[in-house]
Structure 1
């Protein structure tokens, strides 16, 4: 069984005409429905809404008669009219497309050129002139790509797919088809995807991949329902009919062809419906309804216009007459079909006609004639088998190449997955190491904090013991003596004064300890304020005049806690030594400044007279003037990396302490 069918891919018509008519033929679902009883093929009445007679065609014709100005508007109207006429008035449609192409080329109007080229490609494909069809369609495709018109780009790819398919170039047809489907899915172009899926089903049918074909075509039916596309319905049902016909499921094929006819009727005229009606007549004959096939076949033969249509109908009539035993009529129509097939190189129809004539000759007992036709049928079959084999081999080669590419992609994907896995493992290891390092850092930090807190507690305990503890012991001793009452009134008053002085000193020492621990006092101006307060608290009452020599704008330098504490204690120790040991001194000068960003300098000087010979610029701990106090100053300065230098001259005692800030 050799089936041939040409699709009429009417894009614009489906948009213009289907909306009002789709409800009458849309199936309830895309799954196969129970097969009905035989539906006789009957002539379809001309549709009032068919493109050749539609109001849109009349309106466009009137516009073109009135608007003769050679501009892009005329190009667009020419292409629109040609598109409406291309299925039912192919020759006029081709003439209009040529006019549009010439004018668009003259105007350098790329859009008009692309549409006209695509229309001419369709026309030549319908005429089986594939060289011209391929040339025009490829040019249209290139222009649509340049225009970045993805919708019409997929239409052009569909046209190339059809051209390759009709020439039996299944491999190239599949390649173009899959490229078009990918583009349609990427750009979400449902209508192009519909027709490309139909074509994929047809190619799969030709290759014998029936399950794949059915899946593609049922998916196409779903898209047609989604779009309410009459032509999409018709094409999908026709392709399902051909699939069933290939599987010799005649009743199922007739059901699908009937559905296709109902879908096409709102769109096509009598000539456009003829291929589907021929399919229905053929199904009548295959199912043994010879009388019905003869009646309908004679009617359709009078309407046929193309060689292929006439050859197909003559085959149907020849088989029907042979089935009814009318051998003369069977031979007549068989010879007519064979003659047309020979002149038009219709190999499928020629093989079928030669086979029928061989059978008729054998039934008449003319075995010489039967043998001659059988040999011709064999020659056709060999040619068709060779062509089919080559086509299948080409398609299988394409499938193999496609599978190889898919295998390579899978291998690359696996390699990438392994690389990603290794990267993830490395990242996980790095994360664990980072967490471990972070844990170590946190542990080290907390340990340092704990050690710092322990050291701070020890220093606090030492300061309280050394300073406050001694004073409290004195207070306790004086209180005990006062309680014993051994001293006279004057002695008791002296003891009370001593207790008061010791209490005030203890309070001051406690304030100093608290101040040294408060982080809010870590800046240099805070240290200077504390030094001023202490100096004015202890020196003026002892008869000393205090002078501070500091910069007008002291920077907000943050001081380490240990440095601030030790410098303040050195300062207190130095003032204490002045109060205790300075002879005939009445003036104290205190200086605090930053000679550079990394160094802090404290200068303390008095105007007292030396008790011994002058010793200048010696390390502070070697001066004998102040005993343990001098050693404490030196040790505190060395504890933070600094140094203390003292000098004694005619003008008084001087102390210079410098400490690094880093």
Structure 2
């Protein structure tokens, strides 16, 4: 499970030094003394409250106390008509709620801060900072496109006004928006620029956060060695900044990366260190994450007793927090754990609870998505019908005009020619409209067919098996219960995969060859790794801008998926390549391996070849399979664009 309990994904510009009037102490203790010995009569008092509130958030994670201090600072700043202080108070409040994991309040305060900055005509640097902070709030609400747009606007403002040094958090915000939209390589470029700026500022805190973000990108790219190197450096800088929470965040990510490369003892030690910090700070969401991650490490070590204890603690805390997402993840984790322990009764109980959770959430998501699609297609259908009626009316009008013009012998030849051309054009346009209507109807039928075939039958199977398991338990037949539960688990995962594929297929945002290439890479990578096959994807950069229709995308993805499955199952290869090329208005997709090969003329274990040929033909393309026993296999699909 990815760590997300400490919200250090981006460090808001409020958490670095800001402009202030006068001098105030810098340490927590000296600030407390200052506030006790001074009265709320000047801007220095406001700045002291702001500084104390910031440090209380950053170093102590005492969000209630920080909230009180910052609200007091805002009240005094309003009384003094101190515009900068009002802006900073709202910005710091937004940051406090950001780390407190309250997204809506974060967004409200940071939007208010930007409005205050504009109303008080604060300097362009502060306006740019306010926009960067608002980008963080949008990202926190999973509005990644808005986050990217406003962060880029902030960067353009800094360039326009020649603001130097640039705000390192702007680059971090852009990097995180790119990372969240699965573009880690592009994200790394912006994180590196943020790292350079943090080094210039000599900010170990900022360096630690940026280095951790780079590590996460390499983690996503499955380059754990590079990820661990950045995590080590980030931890060193986090210690220099004396931020316990940031150290815990980095430690748990280090543990997850070590677990991926099977360095389990080291992973356990790193997560235990993170848990010690979060337990001391009593941050329950963080503790739940650490308990679960630690339980999974013990599970892989086959030390089931502590694994069970840690996962149960995680689930208990998730229920306390009413965190439905974590409840679902931890319930599934316990079901899998009990299955490995061969405690099938407990495994069944937790799996049933998890399946009910998935079914309810899937039903809501699926219903909403289908309703949206149906509404869209009905709207399109009505518009097409209106356009069709207009064309028919136009044709009738032209026919009447034709009859009148026939009485004029001098113009009959030319007019007949013009009318013939208009009639043919209208007829062709009418055919195009009808074809689009038919395509919309076909799409709706395809969605309904996929939902029925992929989901309906599997849910029926799960329902029957669930009823059967109860009887098997009563009959004390553990072997049969285990098989039934394994089948239920497999069917449930198939439903999730099927729904994911259906929604991915109909999403217009995926209408590019680059998206298909990435999707197939994500599907192939874990399968190849499970068989020890070195896998590489070669895709031309030009693919990013090449759109394709939904039907071609769907068939192309299914052909690639079938070919990858066959390769993994039967090839016994040590190396495989998936290559996308675009030349002379033709798309060429090649999947090849160095495995044992086979004789295409002889009956083969490899399934789905006829289905792949049919899909290639439906796209107007050709599919060629070349293979020789002992010399590998090469599959080539060519489609005209």
Q: What is the TM-score normalised by the length of structure 2?
A: 0.51
Matches within 5 A, 1:207-606: 207-304=181-278, 305-346=282-323, 349-374=326-351, 377=354
Distance 1:317 1:3, change over 3 A: closer
How far residue 196 of structure 1 moved from its aligned partner, in angstroms, is: 1.6
Select which of 61, 78, 84 maps to 1:105.
78
Are residue 6 (structure 1) and residue 7 (structure 2) matched? yes
Distance 1:126 1:268, change over 3 A: same
Partner of 1:78: 49
Kindly indicate whether the alpha-carbon contact (under 8 Å) linking 2:70 and 2:93 is maintained by their aligned counterparts in 1: yes
Bigger Cα Rg: 1
For residues 478-511 of structure 1, the C-alpha deviation after alignment (integer angstroms, 9 at most, x for no partner) is xxxxxxxxxxxxxxxxxxxxxxxxxxxxxxxxxx
Kindly indicate whether the alpha-carbon contact (under 8 Å) linking 2:7 and 2:101 is maintained by their aligned counterparts in 1: no
How far residue 9 of structure 1 moved from its aligned partner, in angstroms, is: 2.5
Kindly indicate whether the alpha-carbon contact (under 8 Å) linking 1:217 and 1:240 is maintained by their aligned counterparts in 2: yes
Kindly indicate whether the alpha-carbon contact (under 8 Å) linking 2:247 and 2:274 is maintained by their aligned counterparts in 1: no
Kindly indicate whether the alpha-carbon contact (under 8 Å) linking 1:13 and 1:267 is maintained by their aligned counterparts in 2: no
Of the structure 1 ranges 200-209 and 69-78, higher mean CA displacement relative to structure 2 is found in 69-78
Q: Structure 2, unaligned stretches of length 5 or more?
A: 19-24, 370-498, 513-544, 546-641
Q: Following the alignment from structure 1 to structure 2, what is the Cα–Cα distance between the partners of residues 379 and 168? A: 26
Matches within 5 A, 1:602-617: none
Distance 1:222 1:348, change over 3 A: farther
How far residue 368 of structure 1 moved from its aligned partner, in angstroms, is: 4.6
Q: Following the alignment from structure 1 to structure 2, what is the Cα–Cα distance between the partners of residues 199 and 185? A: 16
Q: Following the alignment from structure 2 to structure 1, what is the Cα–Cα distance between the partners of residues 210 and 140? A: 17
Partner of 1:187: 161
Kindly indicate whether the alpha-carbon contact (under 8 Å) linking 1:14 and 1:231 is maintained by their aligned counterparts in 2: no
Select which of 36, 55, 61 maps to 2:32.
61
Q: Following the alignment from structure 1 to structure 2, what is the Cα–Cα distance between the partners of residues 87 and 396? A: 38
Distance 1:219 1:172, change over 3 A: same
Are residue 96 (structure 1) and residue 96 (structure 2) matched? no
Are residue 129 (structure 1) and residue 130 (structure 2) matched? no
For residues 301-359 of structure 1, the C-alpha deviation after alignment (integer angstroms, 9 at most, x for no partner) is 23312222112211221112101112222122112222323443545544442332122
Q: Following the alignment from structure 1 to structure 2, what is the Cα–Cα distance between the partners of residues 79 and 155? A: 17
Are residue 119 (structure 1) and residue 66 (structure 2) matched? no
Q: Following the alignment from structure 1 to structure 2, what is the Cα–Cα distance between the partners of residues 167 and 212? A: 22
Q: Following the alignment from structure 1 to structure 2, what is the Cα–Cα distance between the partners of residues 257 and 324? A: 23
For residues 174-216 of structure 1, the C-alpha deviation after alignment (integer angstroms, 9 at most, x for no partner) is 2222222222222333555321211221221121112221222
What is the aligned residue count?
A: 362
Q: Structure 1, unaligned stretches of length 5 or more?
A: 17-53, 400-406, 408-662
Distance 1:217 1:258, change over 3 A: same
Kindly indicate whether the alpha-carbon contact (under 8 Å) linking 1:185 and 1:193 is maintained by their aligned counterparts in 2: no
Higher relative contact order (CA 8 A, sep 6+): 1
How far residue 143 of structure 1 moved from its aligned partner, in angstroms, is: 1.2
Q: Secondary structure at the match of 2:128?
A: helix
Distance 1:249 1:393, change over 3 A: farther
How far residue 380 of structure 1 moved from its aligned partner, in angstroms, is: 6.6
Q: Following the alignment from structure 1 to structure 2, what is the Cα–Cα distance between the partners of residues 87 and 296? A: 22
Distance 1:176 1:319, change over 3 A: same
Select which of 198, 201, 206 maps to 2:180.
206
Q: Following the alignment from structure 1 to structure 2, what is the Cα–Cα distance between the partners of residues 363 and 325? A: 9
Q: Following the alignment from structure 1 to structure 2, what is the Cα–Cα distance between the partners of residues 359 and 152? A: 51
Q: What's the Cα RMSD here?
A: 3.5
How far residue 274 of structure 1 moved from its aligned partner, in angstroms, is: 1.8
Q: Secondary structure at the match of 2:196?
A: helix
Kindly indicate whether the alpha-carbon contact (under 8 Å) linking 2:13 and 2:133 is maintained by their aligned counterparts in 1: no
Q: Following the alignment from structure 1 to structure 2, what is the Cα–Cα distance between the partners of residues 380 and 255? A: 38
Q: Following the alignment from structure 1 to structure 2, what is the Cα–Cα distance between the partners of residues 392 and 260? A: 39
Distance 1:375 1:167, change over 3 A: farther
How far residue 100 of structure 1 moved from its aligned partner, in angstroms, is: 0.6
For residues 93-138 of structure 1, the C-alpha deviation after alignment (integer angstroms, 9 at most, x for no partner) is 3222111111112233222111111111111111122222222111
Distance 1:12 1:158, change over 3 A: closer
For residues 592-628 of structure 1, the C-alpha deviation after alignment (integer angstroms, 9 at most, x for no partner) is xxxxxxxxxxxxxxxxxxxxxxxxxxxxxxxxxxxxx
Q: Following the alignment from structure 2 to structure 1, what is the Cα–Cα distance between the partners of residues 504 and 202? A: 35
Kindly indicate whether the alpha-carbon contact (under 8 Å) linking 1:315 and 1:352 is maintained by their aligned counterparts in 2: no
Kindly indicate whether the alpha-carbon contact (under 8 Å) linking 2:14 and 2:92 is maintained by their aligned counterparts in 1: no
